[in-house]
Amino acid sequence: MFCFQCQETAGCKGCTRAGVCGKTPEVAGLQDLLIYVTKGTSALACALRDAGKEVPVAVDRMVTLNLFTTITNANFDAEAVTERIERTLACNKELAQTLGSTEGLPAAALWQGARKDFSAKAREVGVLATEDEDIRSLRELITYGLKGLSAYTSHADALLVRDPEIDAFLQRALAATLDDSLSVDDLVKLTLECGSWGVKGMAQLDAANTKAYGNPEVTEVEIGVRKNPGILVSGHDLRDLEMLLEQTAGTGVDVYTHSEMLPAHYYPAFKKYPHFAGNYGNAWWKQTEEFEKFRGPILMTTNCVVPPKDSYKGRLWTTGAAGFPGCAHIDADAEGNKDFSALIEQAKTCQAPEEIEQGTIVGGFAHEQVFALADKVVAAVKSGAIRKFVVMAGCDGRHKTRSYYTEFAEKLPKDVVILTAGCAKYRYNKLNLGDIDGIPRVLDAGQCNDSYSLALIALKLKEIFGLDDVNDLPIAFNIAWYEQKAVIVLLALLSLGVKNIHLGPTLPAFLSPNVTKVLVDNFGIGGITTVDEDLKLLIG
Ligand code: SF4
Ligand code: SF3
C-alpha cells in the first residue's frame, strides 16, 4: 500500500505497511481501485456530456459517495468498498453502452474485472503509478480537494440540494487526473479552479443547512450529562441528526453531539428538541476514551471513525459513507429516510453517560450572526479594542505537536480574536479566553464546511473598511489540517485571493518540493515554527 493523503501519514512521507489511521493494506488497495474506476466513470460522464447526452443524477451521486468513502477515517470496511467497486464497474459498462463508441477513452473507463481481480489491479493503479513527482503531487492535490468537495456536496444532497454544474466540474477535474497530456501548469490551473468550485460547494451546503435549519445563532452548549440513557452523534451530516432527533422524541433517550456535530446546537431548528442534551467530549481522535465512557450507542454519520475498542464496538453504528467491519450500518431507503429504531432500542438498555466535563461552551458565529454584530465588531476594530483576528480553523489530530495550537491561543495578546470552524477548535475552545467588549475571543462559526462563513465575514469586513484587497485586513491565517476536507477549504481560500496562510502542524506530504514552491511563491503559503516565532510573525 501507499497512502499519503492525510497529515498523520507515517513519517510525514507515506503509509506503506498499514495506515496510522488503522486502514489495512487490503482496504487501502481497494480504495485505490475505487478511485481509479471512479475516475473512469468521470471520463465516461464527460464524454457523454460532450456528445450532448444526459448524465443521470444517480451517477453524480455515486461519484461523490465513492470519493467520500475514501476520505481519511471514513470507511474501513473491505466488503463495503468492494461492493462500491462492483457497482461502479456495472455503471461504467452501462455508460459505455449509452455512449456507443469508446474511442479515446482512458483505460480506467474501460477496465472490467471480478472480485478475484481487484487486489492485483489495485497494485497497478495506486498513487505511485504516476512516476513524475510533480504531476503525481498535483493529481493527488486535485483528487483530495475533490474528495473534500464530494463530502460537502453529499451533505447538501441529503437535504435535496444538488448543483449539476458542480458535479460536471468535479467529474471533469477527476477525469483530468488520468490525462497524460496535461502539463504541470495545466494542473496548477485546475487546482485553483478546484478551489473556486470548493467555494461554490461550501456555499451550496451553507444554503442547504440554513434553509433547512435556520441561521446559526449565539448559543451556550452544555458539556455535562443528564440522567437518561443517551445516543452520541458524531460526524457532519445534519440530516442524519434531524432524523435521529425526531425518532428519539418521547422515548426517554437523550441525544448528545460529539466532535464536528457540536455546531448542530447553534441551529434554531434543533433547539426545539428538549432531549437534545448537549455536547459530549472533544475532537474525533479522543473517541476511544470518550465513547467507552459514554455507555450508550454512538452514530458515526461521516468520517472520522477511529477503529473501535471491543468495549464499545457493539455500540458503534455507521451510516452514509462511514463504515467499519463488524459495526452495524444503517442505510437510507429510496426516499433518503433512515430507520434508527434498532439503535434507539439499544440505547434504552444502556446506562446514562459518565460525566467527563461540566459547564458550557459558546458558539454560533456563522456569517449572519456575525453580520448582526457587525457594528459592534467594527467599532471594536476602529477603537483598537480588537487589534487583529486570527483564523485558526481546520482539523484536530492526535499528534502531540498540536499542543502548539493550545499554546498559540493562550499566548495570543488579549486584543486578538480567534475565528474558527472545524474540529481544530477543541484545542482552545474550553480555555475561557474571555471577551472584548462582549465579543468572545473565540468565535466559532461551526463545522469545517462553515469555513465558508469565515470567508464571507472577511469579505464583509473588506467591504465595510473600503479595502481593495482582502489581504489588507487585520486577519492572519494559522490553519490546522488533517484530512481532505481541509484541502478543499485551503484551495477555496486561495481561490478567494487569501495569501500568507500558515498550515500545520506539518505541510502535506503529497506536496512535492516544486509544487510547494509554486504555493509559496504565488500565495505565500508557509508552515508553522514555534509559538513565539509565529506570534511575532503573524500578530506582530
Ligand atoms: Fe496513512 Fe492517512 Fe492514508 Fe490513513 S489516510 S493510510 S494515516 S496517509
Ligand atoms: Fe475534523 Fe475529521 Fe477535519 Fe470537519 S472531524 S474537521 S478532522
pLDDT in tens, 150-203: 999 999 999 999 999 999 999 999 999 999 999 999 999 999 999 999 999 999
Global confidence as pTM? 0.98
Centre of ligand 1 from the C-alpha of residue 125, in Å: 17
Bridge partners, 121 (sequence order)? none
**Beta strands at 388-391 and 416-420: parallel, antiparallel or unpaired:** parallel
Among 245, 290, 251, smallest CA distance to 264 is for 245
Centre of ligand 1 from the C-alpha of residue 10, in Å: 8
Q: Give the number of the atom of ligand 1 that is nearest the alpha carbon of residue 72.
A: 5
pLDDT in tens, 10-48: 999 999 999 999 999 999 999 999 999 999 999 999 999
- As a whole number, the mean pLDDT across the chain is 97
* Grid cell at residue 238: 445534519
Can you spell out the DSSP letters for 408-441?
Answer: HHHHS-TTEEEEE-SGGGGGTTTS---EETTEES
Q: Give the number of the atom of ligand 2 that is nearest the alpha carbon of residue 236.
A: 4
10-212 CATH, one of 1.10.10.60, 3.90.190.10, 1.20.1270.20, 3.40.50.300: 1.20.1270.20
What is the three-class DSSP state of 480? strand
ipTM of the complex: 0.98
Instruction: Delimit the domains of the chain by residue range.
Output: 10-212, 219-348, 370-538
370-538 CATH, one of 3.40.50.2300, 3.20.10.10, 3.40.50.2030, 3.90.580.10: 3.40.50.2030
Q: Give the number of the atom of ligand 1 that is nearest the alpha carbon of residue 1.
A: 6
Question: Annotated binding residue at 8?
Answer: no
Confidence of residue 146 (pLDDT cuts 50, 70, 90): very high
pLDDT in tens, 71-113: 999 999 999 999 999 999 999 999 999 999 999 999 999 999 9
Residue nearest to atom 3 of ligand 1 (CA): 3
Centre of ligand 1 from the C-alpha of residue 230, in Å: 32
pLDDT recorded at residue 100: 95
Q: Average pLDDT for residues 493-517, to the nearest whole number? A: 97
Cα Rg, the chain, nearest whole Å:
23
Centre of ligand 1 from the C-alpha of residue 530, in Å: 26
Check if the beta carbon of residue 64 is closer than 8 Å to that of residue 154: yes
Burial (CB count within 10 angstroms: exposed 0-12, middle 13-18, buried 19+), residue 226: middle
- In this structure, the chain runs to a length of 540
List ligand 1's pocket residues with C-beta within 6 A. Answer: 3-6, 8-9, 15, 19-21, 23, 28, 72
Burial (CB count within 10 angstroms: exposed 0-12, middle 13-18, buried 19+), residue 338: buried
Among 81, 74, 220, smallest CA distance to 147 is for 74
Bond preceding residue 353 cis, omega within 30 of 0: no
Centre of ligand 2 from the C-alpha of residue 422, in Å: 6
pLDDT recorded at residue 455: 95
Confidence of residue 456 (pLDDT cuts 50, 70, 90): very high
Residue nearest to atom 3 of ligand 2 (CA): 395
List ligand 2's pocket residues with C-beta within 6 A. Answer: 236, 259-260, 284, 303-304, 395, 422-423, 447-448, 482-483, 485-486
> Are domains 10-212 and 370-538 of this chain identical in fold?
no
Question: Annotated binding residue at 304?
Answer: yes
pLDDT recorded at residue 259: 98
Q: Average pLDDT for residues 354-376, to the nearest whole number? A: 97
Up-side HSE of residue 381: CA atoms within 13 Å toward CB? 16
Q: What is the CATH number of domain 219-348?
A: 3.40.50.2030
Can you spell out the DSSP letters for 184-225?
Answer: HHHHHHHHHHHHHHHHHHHHHHHHHHHHHH-----EEEE-S-
Which ligand sits closest to the CA of 71?
Answer: 1
Residue nearest to atom 2 of ligand 2 (CA): 304
